[in-house]
Structure 1
Amino acid sequence: MRASTADGMAGQRIRAARAAAGLTQQSLAATIQVSRQTIIAMERGDYAPSVYLALKVAAALDVTVETLWGEPSP
């Protein structure tokens, strides 16, 4: 699903968590069974994943969904 507005902060958090986990875009994509283009779109903030996919991403990166897509605390 295309995001209604770009979510650059979520994309940056996904990219940072992926790097911290030592995964490439391709290896993350293979782990969660999506295309590399899907990972690219999420990291750009252009793609809002389903809840199911968001859970798979968070599990693969060993973080919570809230860490990746939640609103930052003030």
Structure 2
Amino acid sequence: MKRDKLIQYRKKKNWSQKRVVQELREKHSIKITDSYYGMIEQGVRNPSLKLAVAIAKIFKVRPENIFLSTNTTKSCEKGPEQAI
């Protein structure tokens, strides 16, 4: 599943995928390849929690705004017996 929001956030800054990878390395000491980042955008690969949080910080959004497609907290609001 292609991550359109992630692509939109990147394009809004007029950044290339290479620029995002540079930001991750420089600001968060996370080293990934341009190719791997491209696979994350295309939905072929899922980032680790640490990487997902770093990507979200770069774009100044919450990780769930990029990586979750549904609201996963609703089942927890009903109580533990109903969430199962």
Looking at structure 2, the residues matched to 38 and 13 of structure 1 have their Cα atoms a distance apart, in angstroms, of 17
Question: How many pairs were matched up?
Answer: 65
Q: TM-score if structure 1 supplies the norm length?
A: 0.77
Q: In structure 1, what residue type is equivalent to 2:56?
A: A
Looking at structure 1, the residues matched to 14 and 56 of structure 2 have their Cα atoms a distance apart, in angstroms, of 14
The Cα RMSD (Å) is 1.4
Q: How does 1:44-63 map to 2 (within 5 A)?
A: 44-63=42-61
Gaps of 5+ in 1: 1-6
* Residue deviations 1:33-62 (CA, integer Å, cap 9, x gap): 221111110111001000000001000111
Q: CA deviation at 1:71?
A: 2.3
Q: CA deviation at 1:22?
A: 2.5
The list of structure 1 runs, each at least 4 consecutive aligned residues, that deviate by more than 6 angstroms after superposition, is none
Q: Report sequence identity in percent.
A: 17
